[in-house]
Structure 1
């Protein structure tokens, strides 16, 4: 089937969405490169400057569902413009921060803007792009997400070395102004609402607190079990509140559709495994294989680069074959990549790491495009914002859980990975990716059960 070319309006609308995904993705990782410099600039400890990263991540994780629902109620384009404005203004405040506390606070506000941008960008695809090209659009957004996250550390290091640490935040000001203009000029205006729609403030407060407690459980040592129990209680309270709410933040009836539950579970499992590559990879390459810092940096960039380059082709595959056929193939690819990392001996050297990572990264790009397209095609207009936000929430929770849980698996297998000898690091890699392969097999089962209970509508091109 011939592909219908996009008109100028649609191309620029898609450009605005791509930029809306790139900016917050870039700031997820760009500050990491500057932590040593920021610690020296503010005379702070490593544990203190870590909150520059954590404040942003916690704000995004706790607020993303709430702002997604706000977009459904008050207008997604309107709220996206507000989010870009918050993100850009907070970025300028970060650059001008006179002290560490000011910088951490500004990063939290920047996280609010990022939560809005993450939540609404995917939801707005259906308003901006023809249905037959939705897969390609989702693939482009996946590319922007991977590009921003992978480019952040290297770009941040370059800017800090040649311009100074404020430049990593000033960069967002011209990008934000351009993005706001593109959204205002080219995205379709929100549909007018005839009646006032209630917003679930109590449910929002309970969910924000519950997610904050869970995120802290994954990032603070010494209180993990207590905080996890509190987050479970909070989840139960949230369900009780939503069952009684007149206008619930999340309609629990949505989860009667097995496709939603399985898609969110798949996102959580897959991103948990992807974070494993970022946690284990640096130790294996440097201490296990004895590679220098330059080679380690190049090797670590292979996976994110492939994920970034594979996003658009993956989206075209989804448009052609349909999401339901593509997701299992992507998950099988991740099973294969994790299994190879768990089984290949260290004596095979760097190729035995890079080839499985290439398979994992390309499969991840394919999964993102297919999973997001398949889910959003089944969602009603008035729920796209909250469902898009739930996808973003699952991704963030997966990243947090992967860093904590899979990092703990690696530490358990190696003792202290900063001191362990090369052969112990190798065994730790094998053990950790053995667990990752099991998680991906679980994902295949979840997908099979979800598809067996639900028959989604036909996808264009399938």
Structure 2
């Protein structure tokens, strides 16, 4: 019989492997962006062409993450997570050795598939590796690792490109991937193959429809850099039709990819919507803040980068504290507290008081990112803590999907609001006056504050019903 100290040590190693997997997937997202100028020069390609190095990775994750979770529920989370780590690592080798741009883009799509498996399954594994009273702390650690990967990517990528060339930004994942695989192989529990879901058939039709639908939506939101044309409208229409066809297909099969009845659970539905809203709002700090800092405050490029790092740094440091707060005071209460802090931060950002200088951004973003970390950790803990074993993979995938869709939506929506409010082309910072940049910042974050308040209403309602209505998923 395994003693309590041995169980605790085993859980610690398992959590370490999940943390490294989270770091890998987030690093893969952020590190490639800094290499785009080098790729343009190396392959003699346009920006529109090399941006697919980033988009291919994000689209693969977005379109496949729910299917990855369902496969894990059916065939076992451990082999699928190990397969995802191995696939990500092998694809990193192919990325680093690619002789042409299009082979690099294809390898990035494969790398995105590996990342989708890792992102979908790290959250799902938490319930099997730590006790329920430590779920919040575990979610906080994973959130911190995700933030570290996002923060570390640009700076690490810049150093690697300067010293070793662009191929190094992909090959650096190889030793880290091998370490993660070895640790996961040793530490992750073999139990938990999904229960009832494991005996069903994989919903190939639903998977294809969902992938096509999400792909159409993601491309509608990313092509054109925020300017909607006929192609964007056509893709968005196709995505809407795809949602209807997907719902019909799910209602007709015995073992659907997504149990539509699950969305009758108020807590799950509200959590997914809140996650999408919050991610949309947070994307504004990346899509809009650089214009305010450079044109509104007149900062140079180096100082803009330094100030922008404040948000990810606060999120990283706050995530661990957020996990402890969620364990001590309850995930639902801390979810509401996080949204209150986020709303306060976005409201202060909407004031955009340029006369205060850098403090007009740093102070509000600190408040906002603390709230974001608290919400994200508590929301994940609340959802995953009430999910049955046979649904953990797909629900984890849905949580990650809602966040990714929010980021994609935010890049387009918040950029469009800023462009309209500033009265000029947001992409052309050379003609953006300080006053116009401040006006755009104010309007964008006024809209963001309204969105956060809507999420706060959902959080309060779901918290009130949490003690009255048992989770649909938990009873399955």
TM-score by length of 1: 0.96
CA distance in 2, matches of 1:164, 1:457: 55
- Classify the secondary structure of the residue corresponding to 1:98: coil
Contact 1:71 1:385 in 2 (8 A): yes
Aligned counterparts of 1:108 and 1:26: Cα–Cα separation in 2: 15
Partners of 1:274 and 1:130 in 2: how far apart?
31
CA RMSD, 1 decimal: 1.5
Structure 1 residue 73 and structure 2 residue 82: aligned?
Answer: no
Structure 1 equivalent of residue 474 of structure 2: none
Q: How many residues align?
A: 455
Counterpart of 1:356? 364
Equivalent residue for 1:368? Answer: 376
Counterpart Cα distance in 2 of 1:191 and 1:8: 20
For the pair 1:298 / 2:303, whether they are aligned, the reply is no
State the partner residue of 2:452. 440
2:394 paired with 1:401: no
After superposition, what is the alpha-carbon deviation per residue over 1:335-384, rounded to whole angstroms, capped at 9, x for unaligned? 10111111242111110110000001111111111000001111000000
Structure 2 counterpart SS, 1:290:
coil
What is the Cα deviation at residue 167 of structure 1?
0.7
Partner of 1:416: 425
2:109 equivalent in structure 1:
108
Q: Which runs of 5+ in 1 are unaligned?
A: none
Cα deviation for residue 416 of structure 1 reads: 1.6
Residue 197 of structure 1: how far off its partner (Å): 2.5
Is the contact made by 2:121 and 2:393 (CA closer than 8 Å) also made in structure 1? Answer: yes
- 2: CA distance between counterparts of 1:322 and 1:449? 16
CA distance in 2, matches of 1:44, 1:20: 32
Contact 2:270 2:459 in 1 (8 A): yes
Q: Are 2:33 and 2:54, in contact at CA under 8 Å, matched by a contact in 1?
A: yes
Residue 413 of structure 1 and its aligned partner are, at CA, apart by 1.3
CA distance in 2, matches of 1:151, 1:87: 19
Distance in 1, Cα, partners of 2:401 & 2:184: 23
Match of 1:330 in 2: 338
Report which stretch shifted further, 446-455 or 257-266. Answer: 446-455
User: Are the equivalent residues in 1 in contact too, given 2:352–2:438 (CA < 8 A)?
Assistant: no
Unaligned runs of 5+ in 2: 472-476
1:320 equivalent in alignment to 2:323? no
Equivalence map 1:223-238=2 (5 Å): 223-238=231-246
Q: Does structure 2 conserve the Cα–Cα contact (< 8 Å) formed by 1:314 and 1:366? A: yes
Q: What SS does structure 1 have at the residue aligned with 2:298?
A: coil
| Partners of 2:38 and 2:166 within 8 A in 1 | yes
Deviation at 1:450, TM superposition (A): 2.4
1:44 correspondence with 2:45? yes
Paired residues of 1:138 and 1:373 also in contact (CA < 8 A): yes
- In the TM superposition, residue 293 of structure 1 has moved relative to its aligned partner by 1.7
Q: What pairs with 1:165-180 in structure 2 (closer than 5 Å)?
A: 165-180=166-181
1:198 to 201, 208, 221: 201
- Is the 1:78–1:190 contact (alpha carbons within 8 Å) kept by the matching residues of 2? no
Question: Does structure 1 residue 119 correspond to structure 2 residue 120?
Answer: yes
One of 252, 265, 283 as aligned partner of 1:257? 265
Corresponding residue for 1:208? 211
Deviations 1:113-145 (A, max 9, x none): 000000000000011111111100000000011
CA apart distance, 1:453 = 3.5
Residue 449 to residue 436, structure 1, CA distance change in 2 (3 Å): same
Q: Offset at 1:452? A: 3.4
Q: What is the CA distance between 1:288 and its match in structure 2?
A: 1.0
Aligned to 2:87: 86
Partner of residue 218 from structure 1, selected from 211, 221, 245: 221
Q: What is the TM-score with the length of structure 2 in the denominator?
A: 0.93
